[in-house]
Structure 1
Amino acid sequence: MEQKKSEFDKVLGAWDILVIAFGAMIGWGWVVSSGSWIQKGGVVGASIAFAIGGVMIFFIGLTYAELTAAMPQCGGEHVFSYKAMGPNGSFICTWAIILGYVSVTCFEACAFPTIITYLWPGFLKGYMYSVAGFDIYASWVAVAVIVAFLITLINVLGAKTAAVLQTVLTCIIGGAGILLIVASVINGDSSNLQGQMFVGESTGTMFQNIIKVAVVTPFFFIGFDVIPQAAEEINVPLKKIGKMMILSVALAVVFYSCVILAVGYVLNPSEILSSEAGTGLVTADAMAKAFGTAVMAKVIIVGGMCGIITSWNSFMIGGSRALYSMAESYMIPPMFAKLHPQHKTPINALFLIGVLTMLAPFAGRGMMVWICDAGNFGCCLAYCMVSLSFLILRKKEPDMPRPYRVPAYKFVGTMAVLMSGCMVLVYCIPGSGGTLVWQEWLMVGGWSLLGVVFFAVCKFKYKEKFGSLIELISDEDAASLMPEADDAELDVVIDAAIDRVLAKMAG
């Protein structure tokens, strides 16, 4: 097995990885979907559902936390699954997660100009054609392509540049959310909760409706796994990387739950129904009512636009690093393993994702919804394989140095496999509420076929080099594996909280 020193610059600090993970999870859904969540499960019910979804991701996140700290190498899933399942399993896992990452960047390229139409209805100019019932305009495509080019350029300029953008936009998202929550507490009314705290006439139906919302919530938490992809660029003690991932998931759960409660506290059931039938932007309408002016609705919409960019930016980071790791193992053409000589970013991988993203708007937003659902399936499949890798490596390599060790690993690993496996089944079983339609299965099949072609061609061309894993030569000393002294109290608090949660669940 070949070894080398990392060629990436370690430029990402603790705050950077927190905002990259959190920003990836907070997209546009909290602006446009809050009304449907409330209508399906109720205000309190939907909040509980997001907590349940957070628990699902919590277990998966714990497996990622241990594996990332143990193997802080670019590619994340690629390395984890390789060590546990070999090159074939690694190819499937990494190819699946790349589908997820690329699909999100393509979807966000279409979502961004769509939001502009909410702010400026006269924005759409130059009708071109229609795809799947969606009208495509020249102005709409132009904005999408320009923004896609700019985000690609920012990522080429370095991970730190992308992290700075992520920090600014995440602060705007957080500010918009806090404004809504504070305004709802001051100007909301508990009477608005009447008739919509839960949905259902009996305890059983209420619970069923909560579960219906809970089943889809993990898909709004996809994105914390971007951190392992950029592990070589993180300048943080290894033990803390895993904890920051868990913290990002917890913050996302709190954010979504608080937004749902705020909307339900401001708008009564008839107002939510009217908003859904009108603009569809229930959260923005709640903001407008809370402040008594329609101008504040645009603040929430701007926050949602920032959420689109943060998700887009994070998945651009994750997708390019995953492509880099596969290229370095000769699973795809090695040209995608080329780093920019000055900025140390995988330039060809970024250009590939950037070009695909710039082409996506020409297919229309309707087709992008299909691509995004197909990509979510790929992410969930990769989650399941990583969770299995976690259990396999605990048995296969028990003495592997693990700066962050998950307590009750058998319970955590089993729960992670079961929950991620259930997420995969939701897409496959008809009537589950998340079943892929035939167009989405066609896209999954097409991506799988492309993977088979790469697999066969690269295996034939590169022979023994195919599927080789290059391990990093670590120049860290033992002290770098320990928490920093200034953060010792925070580490103790986080460790104690995780231990208590796991003890209650396991016991």
Structure 2
Amino acid sequence: MATKKSDFDKVLSAWDVLVIAFGAMIGWGWVVSTGDWIMEGGVLGAMLGFAIGGIMVFFVGLTYAELTSAMPQCGGEHVFSYKAMGPLGSFICTWMIVLGYVSVVCFEACALPTIVAYIYPDFLTGYLYTVAGFDIYASWLAVAILVSVFITAINIVGTKTAAILQTILTVIIGGVGILLIAASALTGTTANLEGQLFMGATTTDMVKGTLAVAVMTPFYFIGFDVIPQAAEEISVSLQKIGRILILSIVLAVLFYALIIFGVGYVMNNSEIAVAMKGVGGLVTADAMAVAFGSSIMAKVLIIGGLCGIITSWNSFLIGGSRAMYSMAESYMIPHVFAKLHDKYKTPINALLLIGLLSIIAPFFGKKMLVWVVDAGNFGCCVAYCMVAISFVILRKKAPEMARPYKVSHYKLVGAMAILMSGFMVVMYMIPGSGATLVPQEWGMVLGWSVLGVLFGFYCKAKYGSKFATHIDVAVDNEAVEEAGDLAFGQAMAAALHDVESDAPVTYVSQPLSFSFSMPVSVVFGAGKRHMAGELFKAYGTKALVVTDAATNGRDIVNEVEKSLKEAGISVARFAHITGKSLDITADSAVDEIKKNGSDFIVAIGGNTV
């Protein structure tokens, strides 16, 4: 099977991987929605809801962990689904995840100046117009546009630069969250928990409240899937990538649960209800003020949450640009999006497009972007379900595939991941579920789907046999550890050690050269393509070079042909092989041999060639 060398630089350490995923998952939701969660399910009910939701995402995360370690290539879902379901399944899966990533980036561009306005109300000046009841101000737009340009530029300059920004902001978020939890533990009282451990007069009502929270929670965990998108840029072993991915999910569940407890421990039910009716309804910020006895600390927490907006924004910009790059590499969308920056090795055109969308988005107001995000969440859940299905298919279809992070009891894990991710998708469709898409959101899903179909037809017509092709990236053996199953506790301990040690993998390229006969002759080593003429001249004076669409035009084909011609061998080329070549293709090649009177064939490309 043909492979290629990765075009990306391996710059992300174990810590970088963790903060990119964890920072994306904790985001801003814990500042805005904690009061809603408690009022819906109660303190303990909401914590259990997040635990249940975390279990759902945990099973999906296990499938991602195994597949990422087995296929550490840019695009993640694109590669997994391509191997399992073929081009159509891959197109649908990746197109849906791109919708999810882009929608979050655009929403965060609106969320950030909105929070600035909450902290500094006088900041809003220069009223322009109103969209769906949301007032647009010149100062509000200016902040949104400036930050959009800044974050896009940071990502273009390099993935490592973006990871450093992510680290700084995630540490701030974590520090503020820890302050709230610690202060609540010291100043709160169990009396505040009375009457709000669970919500509802009956056990049935309490269960419903808990499940209502559980249904919402998976959408707050979207973000761990950024790890497989950037897999080619990670400089830790493949087994560690899987462990860190799972660790990020576990830490996110703990963070949300402890924040819920901290708020409920320091504020009773009536105080939370009053806070929810206040300006902004930011119950978590009010809890911070109560815990420290200072209104200033409320703004400190909001600033911490503000960092969460940027971490989500940053992570999803990374994920969205890599997903677009992988589709462009397969000629499923215009190939221009597969261009990498000459110096920084980042997908510059994909980043510029998403960055441009984040600049345009604030002009449409926050209400419309809420619809976009809900549609995007639906897209992410569809992709999760397809990845879970791909996990099961590949265990059956490719049992011999190397899996450095191999999941135990794959049938159970696969079934749970499919059922739970499928459940998320269904919740968007069932009226009254609490997550049902409104007509405007369904319109956006439909519009995005139509755009995907148009892209597909356009690229099929433009690129022909190159459309929906895929070449694997060669895996460095040094990045592969011995596969082995670990118990959950052992796996978590190992993952924490991976992040603590933060030692990058050293990739060593050893020059090899050897020859052997069995009874055919194999000549192996660097530069052997330039010896083609010398090696083949004993077989005749006319050669037919057979290759495929993906390889045709690459330097290797031209260099082999040049070497043949320099040895006095005339050359004809047959470049019509595809991954789905039929007998008619072989017959055409035979006709070409007869036409040119070829003495021998030189095959360059993948296994079909």
TM-score bracket relative to the smaller structure: over 0.9
- Of 428-437 and 80-89, more deviation after overlay is shown by 428-437
Write the letter of the residue equivalent to 1:42: G
Are 1:180 and 2:180 matched, yes or no?
yes
* Alignment of structure 1 residues 379-458 onto 2, 5 Å: 379-458=380-459
CA distance in 2, matches of 1:314, 1:474: 24
Secondary structure in 2 matching 1:364: helix
Query: Residue in 1 aligned with 2:268?
Result: 268
Query: Residue in 2 aligned with 1:334?
Result: 335
Are 1:258 and 2:255 matched, yes or no?
no
Structure 1: any 5+ residue segments left out of the alignment?
A: 499-507
Secondary structure in 2 matching 1:392: helix
Write the letter of the residue equivalent to 1:338: K
* Alignment of structure 1 residues 129-208 onto 2, 5 Å: 129-208=129-208
Query: Residue in 2 aligned with 1:106?
Result: 106
CA distance in 2, matches of 1:489, 1:423: 28
In the TM superposition, what whole-angstrom CA distance separates every residue of 1:431-452 from its partner, at most 9, and x where no partner exists?
A: 1111100110111111111000
2:247 and 2:492 in contact (8 A); partners too: no
**Structure with more of its chain in strand, by fraction:** 2
1:482 deviates by 4.2
In the TM superposition, what whole-angstrom CA distance separates every residue of 1:270-306 from its partner, at most 9, and x where no partner exists?
A: 1111110002000000000110010000111011100
TM-score normalized by structure 1?
0.95
* Alignment of structure 1 residues 15-414 onto 2, 5 Å: 15-279=15-279, 280-414=281-415
2:23 and 2:170 in contact (8 A); partners too: yes
CA distance in 2, matches of 1:492, 1:250: 11
1:362 deviates by 0.1
Query: Residue in 2 aligned with 1:494?
Result: 491
% identity of equivalent residues: 67
1:3 deviates by 2.3
1:463 deviates by 1.2
1:182 deviates by 0.5
CA distance in 2, matches of 1:106, 1:474: 34
CA distance in 2, matches of 1:254, 1:334: 42
1:491 deviates by 9.4
Q: 1:2 to 1:138 in 2, by over 3 A?
A: farther
Write the letter of the residue equivalent to 1:403: P
1:490 deviates by 11
Give RMSD over aligned pairs.
Answer: 1.7
CA distance in 1, matches of 2:228, 2:84: 16
Query: Residue in 1 aligned with 2:464?
Result: 463
Query: Residue in 1 aligned with 2:541?
Result: none
TM-score normalized by structure 2?
0.80
**Structure with more of its chain in helix, by fraction:** 1
Paired positions, count: 494
In the TM superposition, what whole-angstrom CA distance separates every residue of 1:88-140 from its partner, at most 9, and x where no partner exists?
A: 10000000000000000000000000000111011110111111110111100
Secondary structure in 2 matching 1:174: helix
1:493 deviates by 1.5
Structure 2: any 5+ residue segments left out of the alignment?
A: 496-609
In the TM superposition, what whole-angstrom CA distance separates every residue of 1:356-388 from its partner, at most 9, and x where no partner exists?
A: 010000000011100000000000000000000
2:404 and 2:480 in contact (8 A); partners too: no
Structure 1 residue ranges (4+ consecutive) displaced by more than 6 angstroms after TM superposition: 488-492, 495-498
CA distance in 2, matches of 1:256, 1:171: 16
Secondary structure in 2 matching 1:200: coil
Secondary structure in 2 matching 1:130: strand
> Relative CO higher for 1 or 2, CA cutoff 8 Å, sep ≥ 6?
1
2:65 and 2:243 in contact (8 A); partners too: yes
1:203 deviates by 1.7
CA distance in 1, matches of 2:429, 2:208: 20
2:96 and 2:383 in contact (8 A); partners too: yes
Secondary structure in 1 matching 2:135: strand
CA distance in 1, matches of 2:238, 2:455: 33
1:489 deviates by 11
Write the letter of the residue equivalent to 1:101: Y
CA distance in 2, matches of 1:496, 1:54: 19
Secondary structure in 1 matching 2:477: coil
